[in-house]
Structure formats: C-alpha cells, structure tokens
Amino acid sequence: MSVETQKETLGFQTEVKQLLHLMIHSLYSNKEIFLRELISNASDAVDKLRFEALAKPELLEGGAELKIRVSFDKDANTVTLEDNGIGMNREDVITHLGTIAKSGTADFMKNLTGDQKKDSHLIGQFGVGFYSAFIVADKVDVFSRRAGAPISEGVHWSSKGEGDFEVATLDKAERGTRIVLHLKKGEEEFADGWRLRNIIKKYSDHIALPIELPKQVEAAEGEEKPVEEWETVNRASALWTRPRTEIKDEEYQEFYKHIAHDFENPLAWSHNKVEGKLEYNSLLYVPARAPFDLYQREAPRGLKLYVQRVFVMDQAESFLPLYLRFIKGVVDSNDLSLNVSREILQKDPIIDSMKSALTKRVLDMLEKLAKNEPEQYKGFWKNFGQVMKEGPAEDFANKEKIAGLLRFASTSDDSGEQSVSLADYLARAKEGQDKIYFLTGESYAQVKNSPHLEVFRKKGIEVLLLTDRIDEWLMSYLSEFDGKQFVDVARGDLDLGKLDSEEDKKAQEEVAKEKEGLVERLKAALGESVSEVRVSHRLTDSPAILAIGEQDLGLQMRQILEASGQKVPDSKPIFEFNPAHPLIEKLDNEQSEDRFADFSHILFDQAALAAGDSLKDPAAYVRRLNKLLVELSA
C-alpha cells in the first residue's frame, strides 16, 4: 500500500454518534443484514457509474466488467467487500460517511426513545445502511477512488465507530470502493465462505450484477499458493424482468429492502409487464411505514428508472402523482432513450401514458389490500392517509377511485378511528337518504359533541367526522361519491330531504312564522356579528348554534390561511336558535332590551365556542356572564 498523506482526524456528526451507539449495542438481533446493506450500497455505486459512463465512457477506465466481490481472511478475522463502481473522492467520503445528509434527520433524532426495539423500527424507516457495518465490526476501513480521478487521489477512511474517524489520501490503482471489516471478538462466523455465500443467496440474489466469492482451488503441483479464482454466487439478473411465477415472496421482499433501503417488509407489491404500443416492466411497492420526510412535498421521491435494464435515474418523480410519493419501486422502459433527463421526462407523451397506467396500478393494489387485508390497510391508512387525501385535488381522473380508498371517523363508532369507508357509510344509510353528511372540526372530541349533530342523533343518521387539517380543503374537491352528494351539516340551511316527514316540514314552517318577531329582535341585538338569524331545524338539546354560509370558508380553512399569514375574506356566521329550548323561551319573554342584548351575545359566544372558534372579545363575554350570574344570585 502506498504512503498516506493529508491525514486528519474528524468528529462524527452528533446524529451519527447516536446511530452508531444503537448499532454497536446490538440493536439488530439479525446481525447478518450488515452484508445485505453494504452490497446494496455497492450495487447503487455500480449503477451510478454505468449511468455516468453513458455520457463519459472514459470513466470505465478500460474495465467495463462491473461486479461486486466479497472475500474473507480467517487469520486476520476480516471480511472485505469491493466494488468497481463510481467510487468516492475525499469530500464524498467525509460527507457520506461522517454525516447524515438527509431530510427528516431532526425528526428522526427527536423520535429516538432509547427503547432498542422501538428504535430499530425508526432506523429502518431512516435507512442508514453503511453504519450497519458496526454491528459486527469494531473497526472499519474504507479505500475508495472516484472514477475518472487520478490514481493519487485515492482516499482511506477509518473508524472504530466511536466519536471520530480518520481520512487520508493515498494512491489507489482501481476505481471504486473497498470496505474492510475488522470483525469483533465473537463474530468470527462471518469470516467463512459458506456463511457469506448463504447470506448473499438469501438477501442479494436479486442484485442485477455479479456478486463474486473466492473459489476454493487446490494449489497446482510445485506452487505454494493456489491461483485466485472467483465465482458468481447470485442469480445476477434483474428481478423485475423474470416471470412472476418464478419469484418467491421472500425475493420480492428482499428486493424491496434493497431499493428502498428499508428494514421492514412491504405491505404489498405489484409486478407487471406491459407489451404492445408501450413496452415496460414495473415493480411497485407499498411500504409498511412512512418515511420522516413524507410531508415535505419538495423532498426527493419517485421510482428507480431503468431503460433496457440500464439504470438511468434514481427518484424519477414523473411516473406517479405527488400524492403517491410514498410508493417505492422500479420502472424499466424499452421506449425511452438512455440519455433521457428529468426535463425530457416532464414533456414526453410516453411518460403521461405510463404515469396514468402506473397510478391506476397503485390504486388497484391499495383497493385489493383494503378488501383482502383490512387490518393491514388500517395500518396503511394511519401512516399514509393524510397524503392520500391530497389525491382528489391532484388527480381528477381517479377522483372516485381515491374517494373509495379514503377512511373517516364517524358517529357510528365511538373509538374516533378513521376506519369508515364511503362504501360502508352508504351501506348503512337510511332509507330515502340521498346525501353523505359530514362535519369538520379541530378535534374528534369537539366534532363528536357538536350541537350540529343533534338532529342526526335523534333520527339515527350517520355523520362522518373530519378532524385532519387537510379535511375541509379535501371536501372542497369532493362533491359526490357513487352519485350521492356530500353535505356539510354546519353549512347553509339544512335540508334532510326525504328524511324529514311532511308533518316535520309543516311544523317547521309554522314555528318559523310564529317566531318572526324574535328573529327580528335577535337581528337588532346581534347586529354586525351575524349575516342572518333564523329558527334552527338542527337542534334538539342546545339553545343555539352558528352555521356557515354556503359560499363562506369554514373555520378549519380560515385558521390554516391565517396561520400561513394569508388574508382571509370577511364572512359572518348565521345564528340559528332552538325555539323549544327553555333559555330561548326565557329570552323571548325578556322585556328589557339591554338584558335581551346581553343574553343574546352570551348565547352567540357560547355557540362560537361550541363550534371550536375563539371569541373576538373574551372580556365582554366574561363581563356579560358575570353580570347575569350576579342578577341570578341576587
């Protein structure tokens, strides 16, 4: 080995230190996955070289045979993994092996609990493959040179997985990366050819380039050492090009872990070959858990793109809409050119056809999961439900299909879980019910106890309860499902259609006529606070509520816009009162106009609080209430 220069010792990023601590203290019961993770990284490095060499063939440096080699030394108790991929320069090594440059890092660290079992799931979501080397090694050496760089710009990275690492420059003749693991005491089992062979067959058979191990060859007569020979131990063919009937579930699962850098099995997958006008293979996966950057819409996302089995692009976002950004997988096209760019993808009509078909494929896969594995789908919804709710606004063509996949809490279930589908709701609908009723609000407790539900409880009509911040925005894009219109029970003048009998309607008209005088008095007392006053048909127990005008923004949307600093258009609520309530009867009989006005404002403020709104003048509310209490106690 040549003399090392420019040697320096650097400290790990805090997040890396915490990760290494978890790794070194046997976070994983399944230690052998270290090899899967390192092979996966090596495969990515070879893919990147193959892609860059399309434009710059000189990067291959005369060696176009791309491969990964795994070897071991029982005497030295080491395992070595070598690839002839893209390699790293000094800056790359410091960046990739000393820090975690990934969106969502802060959230990841905040979520670490100290409970090893729980934290192993978090690491799986975050996907930090290289550091898994320290599960079995107490020292790791990395020798690398970036393809195309001079031999003198090789780099040596070394660490014992504690607080720091060393980096030095050295001569390295071959491009690519060599990782030497100095196994811990007690991990000698991995310095064995059969053990390594079995791990590779188990986890990395699907890797689409040769993974070689030294072949056991006897020394020729008169020779001290046998000639070194290598043999390929994996299948070395692209998994997605093989017939589905030949692929085991375990192979699909391991391939997912490879492309997603995840530690958990996927919930579902869909493998398809399309022939005819367009020709491509796709293999799409639904992860079991959400990544930390799921809600960062600008975070990198997308499928791995191959053209005629040649890797072209990581995270090609043009093949699926943004609301399906959690889907992982591979698409391999025969119709695109090898030098395709992100800009070309955005304009290519072939991509539009593929995107439409792949989107439908994912939605079909989710439908199947919901139908056949409802418990699994419940887990999916918990992780990805809010992102799916972006769908109706983004994907008009599949609006009905997406709506069928949505899940809601409802008055039919006290758990507050979002487990009711629109199909479930309609199956339970009352005879003559031609609407889907819903109510939005800040929290489940608030909407569940809302006065707006009183008439629905009385008549036994189910109402969907929507409490996610995105819900009111979602419902502005969902007008109907299966021919039934959505109706916000807090908006406009409630019309229950056939669910109200003719007698009910007649009685409502008579009461409204009878209370015209009270309506006028309330309008005068409440003045500019309201847009309208009317007799309510929604209430059975409460004295009053505030309804929203048909075209006005709801409370949820107003709060979101205000929080983001946007100007919100002025709108005033509709004050509805329950003529049968004792407080309203008392109000109607009040002779003093001052007391009538105070009493009216107290009822208005109480209705605002019940709707989840804040009071515009809390001091005035308290003053009026105290005055009333003093009078009552006198």
pLDDT in the model for residue 287: 94
Closest Cα partner for 614 from 530, 552, 539, 555?
555
- Residue 111's SS3 state is helix
- Residue 51 in any domain: the answer is yes
Residue that terminates a domain, selected from 499, 525, 540 = 499
- Residue 626 in any domain: the answer is yes
Closest Cα partner for 369 from 357, 380, 358?
380
- Residue 153 in any domain: the answer is yes
CATH code: domain of residue 460: 3.40.50.11260
Contact yes or no for 27/119 (Cβ under 8 A): yes
DSSP assignment of 461-490, as one string? Answer: ---EEE-STTHHHHHTT--EETTEEEEETT
Residue that terminates a domain, selected from 173, 200, 235 = 235
Question: What are the mean pLDDT values of the chain's consecutive 10-residue runs (634 residues total)?
Answer: 80 72 61 86 90 88 89 96 95 80 53 58 56 88 95 94 89 95 94 93 87 77 68 89 92 90 90 91 93 76 85 85 94 81 78 94 96 94 94 94 96 89 93 90 87 90 92 90 91 76 80 86 89 87 86 71 72 88 89 88 89 83 87 72
Are 266 and 164 within one domain?
no
Are 284 and 327 within one domain?
yes
Sole residue written with tokens 């005629």: 308
Residue 262, burial from CB neighbour count under 10 angstroms (0-12, 13-18, 19+): buried
In our burial notation (b when 16+ CB lie closer than 10 A, e otherwise), range 545-576 reads bbbbeeebbbbbbbbbeeeeeeeeeeeebbbb
Closest Cα partner for 173 from 198, 192, 193, 145?
145
Are 147 and 25 within one domain?
yes
Are 351 and 454 within one domain?
no
Are 537 and 487 within one domain?
no
CATH code: domain of residue 83: 3.30.565.10
Q: CA–CA separation, 18 vs 37, rounded Å? A: 19
Are 27 and 146 within one domain?
yes
- Residue 105 in any domain: the answer is yes
Q: Pull the structure tokens for residue 65.
A: 């045979």
Residue spans of alpha helices (H) in 348-390 = 349-372, 374-388
Q: Pull the structure tokens for residue 271.
A: 């493998």
Residue 228, burial from CB neighbour count under 10 angstroms (0-12, 13-18, 19+): exposed
Are 64 and 104 within one domain?
yes
Are 256 and 189 within one domain?
no
- Residue 397 in any domain: the answer is no
Q: CA–CA separation, 112 vs 389, rounded Å? A: 28
Closest Cα partner for 540 from 581, 495, 500?
581
- Residue 132's SS3 state is helix
- Residue 470 in any domain: the answer is yes
Residues facing 168 on adjacent strands: 156
Q: CA–CA separation, 110 vs 169, rounded Å? A: 36
- Residue 400 in any domain: the answer is no
Are 123 and 191 within one domain?
yes
Q: What are phi and psi of 332, to 5 degrees?
A: -125, 110
Edge-to-edge strands of the sheet including 229-232?
Answer: 5-11, 164-170, 154-159, 137-145, 176-183, 78-83, 68-73, 211-215, 229-232
Q: CA–CA separation, 124 vs 260, rounded Å? A: 10
Sole residue written with tokens 């493959």: 129
Contacts of residue 217, Cβ cutoff 8 Å, sequence gap at least 6: 226, 227, 228, 229
Rg over alpha carbons for the chain, rounded to the nearest Å, is 33
Tally of domains within the chain: 4
Contact yes or no for 367/295 (Cβ under 8 A): no
- Residue 149 in any domain: the answer is yes
CATH code: domain of residue 263: 3.30.230.80
Contact yes or no for 392/402 (Cβ under 8 A): yes
- Range(s) of the domain holding residue 14: 5-235
Are 430 and 553 within one domain?
no
- Residue 211's SS3 state is strand
Per 3-state DSSP, the chain is made up of helix, strand and coil in percentages (nearest 5) of 45, 20, 35
Q: Pull the structure tokens for residue 10.
A: 């650097």
Q: CA–CA separation, 610 vs 555, rounded Å? A: 12
Residue that terminates a domain, selected from 452, 477, 499 = 499
pLDDT in the model for residue 101: 47
Closest Cα partner for 611 from 517, 508, 488, 502?
488
Q: What is the pTM of this model?
A: 0.77
Are 316 and 464 within one domain?
no
Q: CA–CA separation, 408 vs 449, rounded Å? A: 17
Q: What are phi and psi of 504, to 5 degrees?
A: -60, -45
Are 278 and 368 within one domain?
yes
Closest Cα partner for 178 from 33, 44, 38, 32?
38
Q: Pull the structure tokens for residue 614.
A: 């804040």
